[in-house]
Amino acid sequence: MSTAGDITPGCPSGLSPAEESGVGDISAFVRRSAEGNALQLTVRGAKCAGCLSKIEKSVQALPGVTQARLNLSNGRFDVRWRGTLDANRIAETVSGLGYGVAPFSPDAADSAAKSEERKLLIAMAVAAFAAANVMLLSVSVWSGHGEMGETTRRVMHAISGAIALPAALFSGRIFFQSAWSVLRRGHANMDVPISLAVLLALGVSVAETIRGGEHAYFDAAVMLLFFLLIGRFLDARLRRRTHAAAHDLAALQARTVTRVEGAGARSVRADEIVPGDIVLVAPGERLVVDVDVIDGISEADESLVSGESLPRAIAPGARLFAGSINLTQPLRGRAIAAASDSLLADIARMLEAGEQRRSKYRRIADKAVSLYIPLVHTTAALTLLGWLLAGAGVRDALMIAVSTLIITCPCALALAAPVVQVVAAGRLFRKGVFLRSGDALERIAECDHIVFDKTGTLTLGEPELIRVEGDEALVQRAARLARASRHPLSRAVVSAAGAGQVAPHVKEHPGLGLEAEIDGVPCRLGSAEWTGAAPAAGTTQLQLWYSEGDHPAHPFMFEDALRPGAGDVVEELRARGISVEILSGDREDAVASIASALSVSDWKAGASPADKVARLEALRAEGRKVLMIGDGLNDAASLSLAHASLAPGGAMDVSQSASDGVYTGTGLGAILTMIEAAGLARRRMVENFSLAAVYNMIAVPIAVAGFATPLVAAIAMSGSSLIVTLNALRPGWKRR
Q: Which residues contact other proteins by CB under 8 A?
A: 4-8, 12, 48-50, 52-53, 57, 61, 70-74, 118, 121-122, 125-126, 129, 132-133, 136-137, 152, 159, 163
Minimum distance from residue 159 beta carbon to other proteins (Å): 6
Between helix 710-729 and helix 411-430 the angle, nearest 10°, is 20
What is the spatial distance between Cα 513 and Cα 545, in angstroms, rounded to a whole number?
Answer: 9
Between helix 191-211 and helix 364-389 the angle, nearest 10°, is 30
Q: Which is nearer to other proteins, 50 or 386 (CB)?
A: 50
Cα angle 352, 356, 357 (rounded to 5 degrees) comes to: 120
Nearest to 623 by CA among 494, 477, 449, 482: 449
Minimum distance from residue 385 beta carbon to other proteins (Å): 40
What is the spatial distance between Cα 633 and Cα 320, in angstroms, rounded to a whole number?
Answer: 13
Nearest to 90 by CA among 151, 137, 25, 145: 25
Minimum distance from residue 32 beta carbon to other proteins (Å): 24
Q: Which is nearer to other proteins, 107 or 272 (CB)?
A: 107
Candidate list 290, 301, 453, 631, residue with the active-site label: 453
Assign residue 154 a region: left if phi > 0, alpha if psi is -120 to 50, beta otherwise? Answer: alpha
Question: Is there a contact between 581 and 450 (Cβ–Cβ < 8 Å)?
Answer: yes
Minimum distance from residue 252 beta carbon to other proteins (Å): 21
Minimum distance from residue 544 beta carbon to other proteins (Å): 44
Which 8-state DSSP code applies to residue 305? H
Minimum distance from residue 135 beta carbon to other proteins (Å): 11
Minimum distance from residue 670 beta carbon to other proteins (Å): 24
What is the spatial distance between Cα 313 and Cα 463, in angstroms, rounded to a whole number?
Answer: 17
Minimum distance from residue 109 beta carbon to other proteins (Å): 18
Q: Which is nearer to other proteins, 159 or 723 (CB)?
A: 159
The residues pairing with 259 across neighbouring beta strands, listed in sequence order, are 266, 279
Minimum distance from residue 167 beta carbon to other proteins (Å): 10
Which 8-state DSSP code applies to residue 286? B
Output the CA torsion 86→90→91→96 (10° steps): 120
Secondary structure of the chain: what % helix, strand, coil (to 5)? 50, 20, 30
Q: Which is nearer to other proteins, 123 or 441 (CB)?
A: 123
**CA atoms 364, 367, 372, 375: torsion sign:** negative
Which 8-state DSSP code applies to residue 67? E
What is the spatial distance between Cα 501 and Cα 476, in angstroms, rounded to a whole number?
Answer: 9
Q: Which is nearer to other proteins, 1 or 499 (CB)?
A: 1
Q: Which is nearer to other proteins, 48 or 512 (CB)?
A: 48
Minimum distance from residue 98 beta carbon to other proteins (Å): 12
Using CA atoms, how far residue 610 sits from 340, 342, 637, 638, 651, in Å, is 21, 18, 8, 9, 19
What is the spatial distance between Cα 663 and Cα 651, in angstroms, rounded to a whole number?
Answer: 10
Q: Which is nearer to other proteins, 121 or 686 (CB)?
A: 121
**Other residues' Cβ atoms within 10 Å of the Cβ of residue 225:** 29
**Other residues' Cβ atoms within 10 Å of the Cβ of residue 357:** 13
Query: Residue 102 is inside which H or E element, if any?
Result: strand 100-103
Minimum distance from residue 621 beta carbon to other proteins (Å): 49
Alpha helical stretches, state H, 431-527: 440-446, 472-482, 488-497
Using CA atoms, how far residue 8 sits from 59, 70, 401, 620, 684, in Å, is 17, 19, 70, 54, 45
Q: Which is nearer to other proteins, 2 or 359 (CB)?
A: 2
Q: Which is nearer to other proteins, 114 or 604 (CB)?
A: 114
Using CA atoms, how far residue 660 sits from 5, 321, 456, 640, 734, in Å, is 47, 24, 18, 8, 25
3-class secondary structure, 35: coil
**Other residues' Cβ atoms within 10 Å of the Cβ of residue 118:** 12
Q: Which is nearer to other proteins, 68 or 652 (CB)?
A: 68
Q: Which is nearer to other proteins, 52 or 512 (CB)?
A: 52
Minimum distance from residue 735 beta carbon to other proteins (Å): 34
Render the burial of 610-649: b for 16+ CB within 10 Å, e for the rest.
eebbebbeebeeeebbbbbbbbbbbbbbbbbbbbbbbbbb
Catalytic site includes residue 453: yes
3-class secondary structure, 509: strand
534 φ, ψ (degrees, to nearest 5): -75, 125
Question: Is there a contact between 178 and 189 (Cβ–Cβ < 8 Å)?
Answer: yes
Residues assigned a catalytic role? 453
